Amino acid sequence: MPMTPSAAPGRSTPAGPPPSARFDPAKIAASPDPGPGPASSTPPAEWPPIAAPPSTASAAPSAAVPETPPGTPTTALPTTSAAPVATKRPTTGDEGGSARPALPGEGEVPYVRTNLATDLGPILVRLVGVTTGPTTAAYAWLADDEPVPAATVPLVLGRRGPWRLQIDLRRAPDVFTLVGVMDDCRRLAATYARQLREAGVAVAVVGDALGAEPPDGCRRLATWAAADDLGPEPYVVIGAGVPTDGGAGLPGLAAGSRGRCIPLVIGAVPYGRWSAQLGG
């Protein structure tokens, strides 16, 4: 009887999971910037460490901005008291919540980042580090009916909801920068200058940094170098743009005066460790 050929048995496939791509770190692209989010309580890794244990400090979400490495800290003398002047409440900016925003405490990293509202619009404030020596608070969130703490060079930068942020410019590590479009920076800096004068703080203006006529009571200087001759009391010197030396002399000016001179530079300038950015 003829045999009918049968089909050859198929080749079996070993059991097991399907092959998958091997993890190759070299093929993984860098993750994109996630964009703005809740502010970190510690500075970015590229900044030099500050001699204090890390902790948390609350801050409001804000637009992403370029970070600038800090400069050289200064040495300051003991401070005296001066009464700050509260600014009127603006109608724009981050309204925040009813709870008082947190700030770094004793032994914590001195780093603050927050959005504030001003009469000229929102600003993004970053305060990295503080000088050593003075015992006055570097910054404080205050309600309208609260007494203001003692400060040598008190300045209310703006508001977050029902709270206003007061800083003591004497505690700035070196230069304070007000970054943004020059005309807007001039107007906000003039507002700050008037507030400082009302608090009894001496203010000088380099050239036409605040326009043809500086605010009442402000002294005009021809150059930054003239700031060395302003006297023994703390004073704020306002200048527009990067100086001809590229700004390298400004930290030295602050350090050389042992904290008496606080440079406040406005316009399209690099960020200082204490800074406010218009449009933040």
Q: What is the pLDDT of residues 52-80, one digit of tens each?
A: 444 444 444 444 444 444 444 444 434 44
Per-residue tokens: 227: 């700031």
* Tokens describing residue 209: 């940094």
pLDDT tens digit sequence for 197-222: 999 999 999 999 999 888 999 999 99
d(CA 267, CA 141): 26
Residue 189 phi/psi, 5-degree rounding, is -65, -35
The residues, ordered by sequence, that sit 6+ positions from 73 with a Cβ below 8 Å of its Cβ are 129, 131, 132, 173, 174
pTM of the predicted model as reported, rounded to 2 decimal places: 0.66
With beta carbons less than 8 A apart as the criterion, state whether 134 and 224 touch. Answer: no
CA angle, 244 then 204 then 272, to 5°: 55
